[in-house]
Structure 1
Amino acid sequence: MIKGVFRLKPAVFEARNVSKQYRSGFALKGLDMKIMEGDIYGFVGENGAGKTTLMKIIGGLVQPTGGGILLFGQQGKKELCAARRRIGFLIEMPALYPHMSAEENLTFYHHILGIRNPGRIGEVLQAVALTDAGNKKTSQYSLGMRQRLGLAVALLGSPELLVLDEPVNGLDPAGIVNIRHILERLAKEQGITILISSHILSELQLLATRYGFIHKGRLVQEISAGELLQSAQAMICIATPNAERAAELLKRKLQITDISFNTAGELQIPKASVDLELLMAVLLQEGISVEGFNLSAPNLEHYYMDLIEGVRR
């Protein structure tokens, strides 16, 4: 008896050999990419790599010169147009009227988008934590509040996919954390799939479940968050003014051979190869002062830089 059936998640977006050529050259060249339902897909690449171009193709603002895309399994001009109604976009700065309040801006877009649910404005204000600022003129908003209002506009149509281009660009740390928490709730509680680009890779690593790395218009690699964590060993980093002496001591006393130094001059030892309590006891017994230690996990920024450096060679 079959107790359950494993269902593969469908692709929400798929790019097949997509190219976009301008007079100055290719913005995208033979790009293949897939975003599955439920993904928070971190889109990583330098300025000019082609991230925004692809997002504009998803939104129908730019047409590819080669290849094509599928949205929710649909292709063809008419079908793509209908599928785009299931997507919310925040590409570049949101277009807001500064003399209007948040509610008035949302009411304007509510009519433009042809949304019939009058309660939706209150729902999206609550979703982006702007309920208390609904009547405040947007000219008085901070950058973080304007970004959250732009996100509210993108949510008006109850999208199944959110496309966000640098939504935390220019925000202070508190604003960045606010946006992250909002997106986490949208993904977890409403099941919204998210495509997001950001140059703040440490923040992206806290959010994304999957990554795509783009370089000069080509998708170099796609990996899951789990694969990223397995891509490198966790390292114990020890700060001591006697780093070279400490390294020699640990090699001799504990037979640790794979000791290295990071750019800060700290000792780096693979976590799996040593007992931390024993390591610290040996250093203290030999009179070597320890100024601090930490555990470094696999890092998205380092992974990306190593990946791109390999492509450039």
Structure 2
Amino acid sequence: MKLRFIECHIPKHLFMGIDEIKEWEGVIWANVQTDGAISTIQILTTLKDSEKVVDKLKERYGGANYRVVVFEPTMTYPPVEEEAEEKPERLIRDELYNIVSDIANLTKENILMLILSTIVAIAGICKDDVALLIASMIIAPLLGPNISLSLSITVADYKLALKSIRTIIMELIIVIALSVIAGYYLPISLDNPQIHSRITLDFWNIIIALSAGIAGSLSTISNISSIVVGVMIAIALLPPLVVFGLLIGAGYIEQSFSALMLFLINIIAINLSAIVIFSAYGISPYRWWKKELARKYTLYAILLWVVMLIAVFILIYYH
């Protein structure tokens, strides 16, 4: 069972008593400490109940000069007995937002990692070396902005959406530009297995992309290591984009559209899966007036991605 230790620092005169807090749903243990003019409410709860507790604190003390800090305990004694039936655990909305917002930034480090992963992917494709391709997938920072775009829709945050879109566009420009330059100077053959496999489309491509999106979303909301998931996302995004650029640079314009189509399939499926997972796990804005807006955005986004996926499905069928 995953736990969270929550501290809420508030002005002393606003504290309303610890007995009521102990009765809140999900509170395992609660205490208060006072130092001068500040009272610190301490609460031990489970990960699955921590969002409800934090929202209660926001509701009670949100109009004051307060601060909520959440920790992840490494142990507690006496141990907390695990319930027989556990609800699905996920990160608190605010934890998830901070993680996703951070990885959606286009930092110098991310740009460098993207350049390196693209170079390694180009080498892996040209040499037909699967090991090099896997290496490029591990370091490719493509998971963050796509997941953050889906989260921005489910929480109705247009600033996060704009940041995610800007990052995605810049990443696409970097990968395509490097690949086009490489394709112009390197010997590119359509018989290369790594290229041929990414210009030959079938329905398995959609299934793989949907699986990648689900894996990426679950890893984010559950705080699972993103390395393995990053490989899966990169399988769907980096190689077809690199192949598209290589073929453009080599003059295979017509054939390059198949690789671009594969990339678009993966973008659509990954974002669709992410939005559905975030919605299924109950991720929504804290403010009540944004909840209805977020539901509309989520519904519109799901419909848009589904229509686009069906259109791609039809194109593949008649290709």
On whether the aligned pair clears a TM of 0.5, the verdict is no
TM-score, scaled to structure 1:
0.25
TM-score, scaled to structure 2:
0.25
Higher strand share: 1
Higher helix share: 2
